[in-house]
């Protein structure tokens, strides 16, 4: 006999499968449930309805962290260094351009460029950086900075967020990553960080960027001090903004990595909670076209399993990643491993750009060959 609580979950899943919008209470009920198989199956059905094509996608890019100097204090971050730290750095322009050239040689079509909240750099420093990149690599997309950085730029330069975004867009900024979202609930943000953008202003950065015709991704880092209801509140705020602007291309969630942070006493969240939360996100975010799996924090097998729990994208080859690695979580995959993980599930692997346009088969073949000629140990050295 099915218990009433289980029946309510089944009713909610049937509603989502039928294409009806879930309420916040229904989303919370799913997160409270332990019926991972049923939730995952529903998310997979919705993902296949949204993406009936025979392929699943991936990207080739590189995370370039131009500085680790940051005026904010985030208890979950092992990467940042205070402005007075001897371990702070700023990459030279030559280093940044060299990293981009290496990325393009491996078939990459974009970089994800983010840094700390540097106290001294004015907006013209960032404009010059973008112009240098576009002058040297005109076809490259700069998926750059994040709402906390943009909000910081408004304070350092005494400018409106619209003017900051307009100027950077004119200088060559192509799209915005969803970094710094964590959980979009001020209670959580106040407990996690000091000196960083709060929820409404994070959303306002994205709103203005979308109004300017820009596209961006949205993220959620969970498994720390938030409640399950606050996870749903985060998803609700993203869904509401997407209703308003339609500017988000994808949603990516990952679990907090506690090692080497001020919150290292918190028990790490495992793959069960990761897969359930991602699946619920697919069901709840009915206006987000793409959900990206996070093999970077979960490893190859759980990242692959994520493609059966609502995700339609395997994420990036990620030639370089520093922030999660500083917290002690280091997973490196070759391009062949990513493609094989997709193929093992019966899908065709296809390379995409940040806007989810497929690259040509010819460009994809060149990238495969280039990566096969670069052994995994060399990829690790590039990322170091």
| pTM of this structure | 0.91
3-class SS of residue 194: strand
How confident is the model at residue 98, as a pLDDT?
95
**103-157 residue pLDDT tens:** 999 999 999 998 877 678 899 999 999 999 999 999 999 999 999 999 989 999 9
Rounded distance between C-alpha atoms, residue 242 and residue 16, angstroms: 18
For the chain, the straight-line distance linking the first and the last C-alpha, in angstroms and rounded, comes to 56
Q: Enter the tokens of residue 142.
A: 């700069």
How confident is the model at residue 377, as a pLDDT?
47
How confident is the model at residue 134, as a pLDDT?
97
74 band by pLDDT with thresholds 50, 70 and 90: low
Instruction: Using alpha carbons, select from 93, 101, 181, 90 the residue that is nearest to residue 140.
Output: 101
Q: Which of 61-70, 191-200, 241-250 is most confident?
A: 241-250
188 band by pLDDT with thresholds 50, 70 and 90: very high
246 band by pLDDT with thresholds 50, 70 and 90: very high
Domain residue spans in the chain? 52-383
Average pLDDT value over all residues in the chain: 89
How confident is the model at residue 259, as a pLDDT?
65
**10-40 residue pLDDT tens:** 999 999 999 999 999 999 999 999 999 999 9
What is the average pLDDT across 280-302? 95
Instruction: Using alpha carbons, select from 13, 135, 117, 14 the residue that is nearest to residue 66.
Output: 117
Find the range with the poorest average confidence among 66-70, 254-258, 324-328: 324-328
Q: What percent of the chain has pLDDT over 90?
A: 72
Instruction: Kindly give the interhelix angle for 36-50 and 4-17, rounded to the nearest 10 degrees.
Output: 10
Query: Longest C-alpha distance within the chain, in Å?
Result: 67
**318-340 residue pLDDT tens:** 786 554 444 344 567 899 999 99
Q: Enter the tokens of residue 100.
A: 């981009």
Indicate left, alpha or beta for 152 from its phi (over 0: left) and psi (-120 to 50: alpha).
alpha
Write down the CATH number for the domain with range 52-383: 3.20.20.70
Q: What are the backbone dihedrals phi and psi of residue 219, each rounded to the nearest 5 degrees, phi first?
A: -135, 170
Number of CB atoms found within 10 A of residue 127's CB: 16
Query: What's the order of all strands across the beta sheet hosting 348-351?
Result: 216-222, 248-255, 290-292, 313-316, 55-59, 348-351
Contacts of 12 (CB under 8 A, 6+ apart): 22, 26, 29, 30
297 band by pLDDT with thresholds 50, 70 and 90: confident
3-class SS of residue 274: helix
Q: What are the backbone dihedrals phi and psi of residue 164, each rounded to the nearest 5 degrees, phi first?
A: -60, -50
3-class SS of residue 254: strand
What is the average pLDDT across 345-358? 97
Give the strand pairing for 73-74 and 193-194: antiparallel
Q: Residue 208 above 60 pLDDT?
A: yes
CA atoms within 13 A on the CB side of 18: 9
Tell me the residue length of the chain.
384
How confident is the model at residue 79, as a pLDDT?
58
Rounded distance between C-alpha atoms, residue 240 and residue 289, angstroms: 15
Rounded distance between C-alpha atoms, residue 282 and residue 374, angstroms: 35
Q: Which residue carries 């975010």 as its tokens? A: 285
Rounded distance between C-alpha atoms, residue 228 and residue 17, angstroms: 22
285 close to 21: Cβ distance less than 8 angstroms: no
């Amino acid at each position: 006999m099915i218990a009433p609580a289980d029946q309510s979950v089944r009713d909610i899943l049937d509603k989502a499968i039928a294409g009806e919008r879930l309420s916040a209470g229904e989303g919370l009920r799913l997160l409270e449930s332990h019926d991972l198989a049923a939730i995952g199956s529903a998310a997979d059905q919705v993902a296949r309805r949204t993406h009936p094509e025979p392929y699943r996608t991936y990207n080739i890019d590189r995370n370039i962290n131009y500085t680790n100097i940051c005026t904010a204090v985030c208890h979950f971050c092992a990467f940042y260094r205070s402005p007075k730290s001897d371990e702070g750095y700023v990459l030279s322009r030559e280093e940044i351009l060299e990293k981009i050239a290496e990325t393009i040689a491996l078939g990459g079509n974009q970089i994800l460029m983010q840094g700390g909240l540097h106290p001294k750099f004015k907006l013209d420093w960032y404009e010059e950086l973008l112009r240098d990149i576009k002058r040297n690599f005109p076809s490259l997309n700069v998926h750059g900075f994040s709402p906390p950085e943009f909000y910081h730029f408004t304070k350092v330069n005494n400018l409106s967020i619209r003017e900051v975004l307009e100027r950077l867009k004119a200088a060559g900024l192509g799209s915005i990553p969803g970094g710094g979202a964590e959980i979009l609930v001020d209670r959580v943000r106040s407990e996690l960080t000091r000196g960083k953008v709060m929820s409404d202003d994070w959303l306002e950065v994205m709103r203005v960027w979308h109004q300017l015709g820009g596209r961006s991704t949205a993220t959620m880092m969970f498994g720390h001090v938030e409640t399950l209801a606050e996870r749903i509140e985060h998803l609700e705020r993203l869904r509401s903004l997407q209703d308003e602007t339609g500017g988000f291309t994808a949603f990516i969630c990952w679990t907090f990595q506690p090692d080497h942070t001020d919150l290292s006493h918190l028990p790490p969240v495992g793959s069960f909670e990761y897969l359930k939360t991602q699946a619920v996100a697919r069901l709840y975010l009915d206006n987000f076209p793409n959900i990206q799996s996070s093999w970077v924090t979960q490893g190859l097998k759980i990242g692959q399993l994520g493609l059966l729990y609502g995700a339609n994208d395997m994420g990036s080859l990620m030639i370089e990643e520093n922030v999660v690695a500083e917290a002690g979580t280091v997973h490196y995959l070759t391009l062949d491993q990513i493609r094989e993980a997709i193929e093992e599930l019966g899908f065709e692997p296809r390379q995409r750009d940040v806007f989810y346009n497929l690259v040509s088969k010819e460009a994809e073949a060149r990238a495969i060959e280039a990566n096969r000629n670069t052994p995994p140990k060399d990829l690790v050295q590039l990322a170091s």
